[in-house]
Amino acid sequence: SQQGEEDPQALSIQEGENATMNCSYKTSINNLQWYRQNSGRGLVHLILIRSNEREKHSGRLRVTLDTSKKSSSLLITASRAADTASYFCATDGPASKLTFGTGTRLQVTL
Spell out the residues 6+ positions from residue 8 whose beta carbon is closer than 8 angstroms to its own.
Answer: 21, 22, 104
DSSP 8-state class, residue 41: S
* Nearer CB in complex with other proteins: 26/41: 41
Nearest distance in Å: CB 3, other proteins: 10
Which CB sits closer to other proteins, 17 or 54?
54
Residue 22 identity? N
Least Cβ distance, residue 84 to other proteins (angstroms): 18
Residues of this chain that interact with other proteins (CB under 8 A) are 1-2, 30-31, 33, 35, 40-45, 48, 50, 88, 90, 92, 95-100, 102-103
Nearer to other proteins, 95 or 110 (CB): 95
List C-alpha distances in Å: 7 to 16, 31, 59, 65, 86: 21, 19, 22, 15, 12
